[in-house]
Amino acid sequence: MSVENILQEVNLIATLSGILAGFAFSAVVQLLTIDRPGRLTSAVIIIFSVSALMLLYTLFTFVMIGAATAELDRQIEQLSGLGGWAFVVAFLGLLLFLAGVGLSGWIRSKATGIATSIFALITLCMVMWVFISAIAIFV
């Protein structure tokens, strides 16, 4: 793969990870400020926190891979495995993010919880469909 393609791929994943990490971190901050203590609120805060940390790890990893690739102007084979694991961490972070979105509505009301859970489940199905379709190309 050419250096330009590697840099584009790395930048896309880093950007997406950074944006999602920001949303997850924002959710944590918002949930910490509400006056509804309870197990569900604590669970959602933990889910969004772990999601944010996983996505920040991915962001940092891909920024470093991009920087090393750009500096050396070549593909670095030693970092390809690291990038693969970071992508898996990002995918799991995205799944946790969707779980947090689905559960967060239950803090508000039963109707909101049902709606957010359904929308999160639909989004999860679409994400899994795209992921499996993309992976199937390489198999």
User: What is the full DSSP assignment across 55-94?
Assistant: HHHHHHHHHHHHHHHHHHTS--HHHHHHHHHHHHHHHHHH
* Closest C-alpha among 67, 43, 51 to residue 18: 51
pLDDT at 124: 96
Q: pLDDT band for position 130 (50/70/90)?
A: very high
Is residue 55 within 8 A of residue 90, CB to CB? The reply is yes
pLDDT tens-place string over residues 14-72: 999 999 999 999 999 999 998 878 899 999 999 999 999 999 999 999 999 999 999 99
pLDDT at 3: 87
d(Cα 94, Cα 24) in Å, to the nearest integer? 10
pLDDT tens-place string over residues 66-99: 999 999 988 888 888 899 999 999 999 999 999 9
Number of compact structural domains in the chain: 1
pLDDT at 37: 83
Give this prediction's pTM: 0.89
Range of the domain at 64: 3-138
pLDDT at 125 over 90: yes
pLDDT at 110 over 90: yes
